[in-house]
Amino acid sequence: MNAFPVILSAPSGGGKTTIAKTLLARRSDIGYSVSCTTRPPREGEVEGRDYYFMTRPAFIAQRERGAFAESAMVHGNLYGTLRSEVERVLASGRHVVMDIDVQGASQFMRAFPESVTIFILPPSADVLLERLRSRKTETPSQLAARLQSALQELQQVGEYEYVVVNDDLERAVASVNAIIDAEIVSRERVKNLRQQVAELIAQLEREIENHTP
């Protein structure tokens, strides 16, 4: 099977992380690329499972060497996806599910242009606002920053190949599953067609050579 990355993007509160975790739990053909961060581990987080925890100088050095497929500053900390991590999962024959924002997705696509891009859309502004407010962990200024970020991300929906409305988690997961399955079939068909065309061309070239005086 020709494995490929699957990018899930959404405004904060859109549900992309929950969908990504559900896909990982249900599909054996999907793997996860462990990201890097400069923030300290939270309680219960494990090095190499949740994140690779790095010092800021080490992260910057890796970034300057071109080791990251995408990286960004988020709330004062650096986050990034190592190319080697993505390649490791793809080499195992599994698709890589990426839970990243619009900025990261744009960078990632330059590194892995074969990626499938899916934007997870909340069913309404009211639902999105309720999801953000229900966290009750942010100051008014932090909430305002998240709302501004959500606005900017929603304006990039047209850059994505697919859009899934997350009005019901099971339906949203089923839609993403269907997209992945359709891409698998489509890419396998294209691969086989290309191989068939290449074989036809090679055979015709041999025949032409045999009949050329």
Instruction: Name the pTM for this structure.
Output: 0.78
Domain boundaries, the chain: 5-32+95-211
**What is the average pLDDT across 178-203?**
78
Please give the residue that has the higher pLDDT: either 36 or 15. 36
**DSSP of the chain:** ----EEEEE--TTSSHHHHHHHHHHH-TTEEEPPPEESSPPPTT--BTTTBEE--HHHHHHHHHTT-EEEEEEETTEEEEEEHHHHHHHHHTT-EEEEE--HHHHHHHHHH-TT-EEEEEE-S-HHHHHHHHHTT--S-HHHHHHHHHHHHHHHTTGGGSSEEEE-SSHHHHHHHHHHHHHHHHHHHHHHHHHHHHHHHHHHHHHHHHHHH--
CATH superfamily, region 5-32+95-211: P-loop containing nucleotide triphosphate hydrolases (3.40.50.300)
What is the average per-residue pLDDT within 96-106?
Answer: 89
